[in-house]
Structure 1
Amino acid sequence: MGLQVCIAILGMHRSGTSALGGVLHALGISMGQTLVEAKKHNPKGYFENKKIIDFNDYVLFPILEHTWDDLSLLPEGWEEHEEVRGLYSIAKEIIRDDYSHEKLFGVKDPRLCILFPFWEKVLRDLNIEIKVILPYRNPEEIYRSLQKRDGFSREKTFLMWVKYVLLAEYYSRKYPRVAIAYYDLLGEPKETVKKIFQRLYVDVEDMDSKIDHAALFVEKGLKHYNGDNSLVSPVPIFVQETNELYLQLIAGDPGLEQAFDRVREEYMTNTSFFLHDNKELIEQKFKLHINNRKLSHRLRNRLKPIYELYKHKMNKD
């Protein structure tokens, strides 16, 4: 079959990641065997692999004592910690089970912006080539969407958005990638889809015959809020700069890495101040949490024989 290729969609929640996942699916690219069911906020579907979502939410995040809406950052090198290393074999099985027969497949979960170092290692260990799509949507629109869905404040949403998009940009630098605007996908779907695959150097079988079907998926009714690229009221400088840098990234401007690094440092400094966290404290909290989990793990191991006996009895009954 040759080298497998994974297209990873790294974007903030409510930024058009589901629309992109739907486009890949419409083009015949597998997004997983079992997908998360559609809901009222995404009636056309999320196009997220349920196994990966469950693994991230119920296995990896709890071990890291982190959540998808956490504003703090994980300590550097978290993906190499002893307890995290024990999860790689499970994650590899998920990828093998769902995609072993796929030459080209996609993975979409906004949490990947935070957890990419883990899944990057999984894919690389399996000798799978990685390519990345970075979707952009005006954070004002993301705020209105998350405020309606989750009751988030504008301040929290903007900080989350900066964290997600800056991490996505940083983690994806090693790979072929393309940044696209949600409004371009809606307004010019065919041209935007062609741009994605040209920039990623990916050939899709029978693209010309499938692209009309893919374009129908992203009709303008999919977008619940409309606006331009500007931010409507004063925001912290690092938020404004992140917005401007992403627009430059979409335009294909070169040499943006130093500017992104500087803004990421500003974000880390500001969140550390307001959340009363610093690098040393984050690392200490992480180590304490891992040690507590080790104690819980030992207890679970001691109770496992009792649980197995109980399960056997229930099955017989």
Structure 2
Amino acid sequence: MARPTVGKSKADRAAYLVLGMHRSGTSAVTQLLALAGAELPQNVMPGDEHNAKGYFEPWKIAVFNDERLRAGGGAWDDVFAFPYQPLPGPQEAEWAAKALALYDAEFGEAWFPLLKDPRVSVLAPLWRATLKARNMPARAVMPVRHPLSVAKSLMRRDGFPVEKSVLLWVTYMLAAELYSRDMPRAFVGYDRLLADWRAEVTRIEAAHGAALPRLSERAASEIDAFLTTDLRHDAGGGDLSAIPLVGPLAQRAYDWFEAAARDAPRDSEALDQVAVEVADMKAQMGVFVSPAARALDLARADLVEARGLRAMDLRYISTLEGQVARLRSELSTIEAMVDTMIAGR
């Protein structure tokens, strides 16, 4: 597989940002880019029963992103985490300094740093400022997967109702698209990536105006071995329009992204209108949903930390587990109330 030569001048440097929704194929795209020469951070999350081949996610950056989302009153699964809301001046500057220090620790002098954490999509202004501080241009790759396939995966892993998962997909994809409009970017159909990754790489390189750093014959063989059909855990789509309230706007958003993944003409105004409708929902329901999502995320973080301390009093861990269960129940009550509000519209 003959590849163009990638130079070593400063003009050749660029960060690769994998943007988009959780469970949408971001791990598969990240491994492809890593095998093709982009550089993963120092600390990468291993695989588990939900993703045996690995997440390729910078776990220290993921923890930082969770903390930043909570500081702003949200969480990774807050359906109203978009648009990005800066904190008051001194606080925002402090978080920016932390992000820069973390970037330096994780990537050092990397020529093609590869940053994959779906939370970066909704925190993109913070991370883009970090890259700018290091004079690092950015290129984006956004996997596109049907929202109902994502919802099936989140139902199995997190127990989320389909309405929440679909709206969460809309939120992350709107953020990924808006915050990447001024950079080279490629939209990649997840199913097409698994079927013919070479064709998708050709599209990525054309969209970026640059070859992937080091896509050799050996790398191609490793990608062949990695991108297998067993990565498609939740295949198929479904009727988005049948989902109350969020379904029709999700369908319009998915139509846009699916067209983008086929290089078909599309108008960003269509997504801007979806964003207006989500903002309207946020104005009506955000005061109920976002604080509960933040409280649950904080309880989960405390529980993970407690489980990691071997000498921790088991009674305290039991208390935290009870707190998580209570918050889950409260969030379910709030979601039921929101469903009642929707039904009454």
Shorter-chain TM-score above 0.5: yes
The structure-2 alpha-carbon separation of the partners of 1:62 and 1:266, relative to structure 1 and needing over 3 Å to count, comes to: closer
Whichever residue aligns with residue 224 of structure 1, its letter is H
Partner of residue 164 from structure 2, selected from 142, 146, 156? 156
| Residues in 2 aligned to 1:173 and 1:130: alpha-carbon distance in whole angstroms | 11
Does the C-alpha gap of structure 1 residues 85 and 34 become closer, same or farther in structure 2, counting only changes over 3 Å? same
1:47 and 2:56 aligned: yes
Distance 1:45 1:54 in 2: 17
CA deviations 1:217-256 (Å, max 9, x no partner) are: 111111102114x535513321111111111221223451
User: Which structure 1 segments of 5+ residues have no match?
Assistant: 286-317
- 2:121 match: 113
Residue of structure 2 in register with 1:237 after alignment:
248
Which residue number in structure 1 is paired with residue 201 of structure 2?
193
Give the C-alpha shift of residue 79 in structure 1: 5.6
Q: Where in structure 2 are the equivalents of 1:1-317 lying within 5 Å?
A: 2-3=10-11, 4-57=13-66, 59-73=67-81, 77-78=85-86, 81-209=89-217, 210-228=219-237, 230-231=238-239, 234-235=242-243, 236-276=247-287
C-alpha deviation, 1:271, in angstroms: 3.6
Task: For 1:101, give the aligned amino acid.
Answer: E
Q: Structure 1 pair 30/53, CA: closer, same or farther in 2 (3 Å)?
A: same
Deviation (angstroms), 1:153: 0.1
- Counterpart residue identity of residue 211, structure 1: A
Displacement of 1:198 after TM fit? 2.6
- Structure 1 segments (4+ residues) deviating >3 Å: 73-77, 274-277
Distance 1:170 1:184 in 2: 23
Shift of 1:123: 0.6
Residues 77, 66 of structure 1: alpha-carbon distance in 2 compared, 3 angstrom cutoff: closer
Q: Is the alpha carbon distance of 1:208 and 1:198 closer, same or farther for their aligned partners in structure 2, counting shifts above 3 Å?
A: farther
Q: CA deviation at 1:111?
A: 0.6
Q: Per-residue deviation at 1:42? A: 1.0
Q: For the residues of structure 2 that align with 1:13 and 1:251, how far apart are their CA atoms?
A: 21
- Listed as ranges, the gaps of 5+ residues in structure 2 are 1-8, 292-345
| Aligned residue identity for 1:35 | V
What is the identity percentage for the equivalent residue pairs of Structure 1 and Structure 2? 28
Aligned residue type for 1:234: A
Q: Counterpart amino acid of 1:25?
A: A
User: What is the SS of the residue equivalent to 2:274?
Assistant: helix
Contact 1:79 1:118 in 2 (8 A): no
Q: Which amino acid letter does the alignment assign opposite residue 39 of structure 1?
A: D
Deviates more, 1:33-42 or 1:149-158: 33-42
* Contact persistence 1:60–1:84 (CA under 8 A): no
Paired with 1:20 and 1:120, the residues of 2 have a C-alpha distance of 20
- State the number of aligned residues: 278
Aligned counterparts of 1:10 and 1:177: Cα–Cα separation in 2: 10
1:174 positional shift: 0.8
- CA separation in 1, counterparts of 2:174 and 2:214? 35
Counterpart amino acid of residue 153 in structure 1: P
- CA shift for structure 1 position 276: 5.0
How far residue 131 of structure 1 moved from its aligned partner, in angstroms, is 0.7
TM-score scaled to structure 2, two decimals? 0.75
| Inter-CA distance 232–265: structure 2 relative to 1 (3 Å threshold) | closer
Which of 251-260 and 113-122 deviates more?
251-260
TM-aligned CA distance change 1:212 to 1:199, over 3 Å: farther
CA contact (8 A) 2:187 2:260 kept: yes
- SS of 1:7's equivalent in the other structure is strand
Aligned-pair CA distance for 1:194 = 2.7
